[in-house]
Homo-oligomer: A and B are copies of this chain.
Amino acid sequence: MELNLAVSSLGALAHEGRLSVFRLLVQAGPSGLPAGEVARRLDIRPNTLSASLNILNHAGLVTSRRDGRWIIYAANFGAMSDLLTFLMEDCCGGAPEVCAPLIAVASACCLAADPVS
């Protein structure tokens, strides 16, 4: 990942409303949620939410598809993974203890369901 893409992704997430939206979509999984459902759950006005989703989308963090009169947004898990990987690069230059908690978190939520060989 390039520095500038990381900066725009971090900038997209560096906002209370947008971070809440992104986390909600992460929790919702790959099937995503319609914009209106996001607005209702987080109590955000439609036009404000639209601007937020547009910023997250331009940063590559969410995808959108139309389904009838709804537009479904979903977290882009690949982009999320790329960003976190970028932030972790070289994290162990002198401090291997940094990664241990992360491995624990990732393991707790994933390894049980889909173990890494």
- Specify which chain B residues have a CB less than 8 angstroms from the CB of A20 in the assembled complex: 3
Interface residues on A, range: 35 or more
Q: Are A116 and B104 in contact (CB under 8 A)?
A: yes
- Considering the complex, give the chain B residue whose CB is closest to the CB of A113: B96
Contact status of A29 and B102, CB under 8 A, knowing A7-B19, A10-B10: no
Contacting pair B92 A113 (CB below 8 A): yes
- Interface flag for A26 (CB, 8 Å): yes
Are the CB atoms of A102 and B85 closer together than 8 Å? Answer: yes
Candidates B4, B89, B93, B103; contact of A103 at CB < 8 Å:
B103
Q: Identify whether the interface residues of A are mostly helix, strand, loop, or mixed.
A: helix
Give complex CA distance A28, B20 in Å: 33
Stretch at the interface among A43-51, A62-70, A76-84: A76-84
How many Å lie between the Cα of A89 and that of B111 in the bound state? 14
Q: A7-B15, A116-B100, A116-B104 are in contact. Are A84 and B88 (CB under 8 A)?
A: yes
- Chain A, residues 1-25, CB within 8 Å of chain B (1/0): the string is 0011011101101111001100100
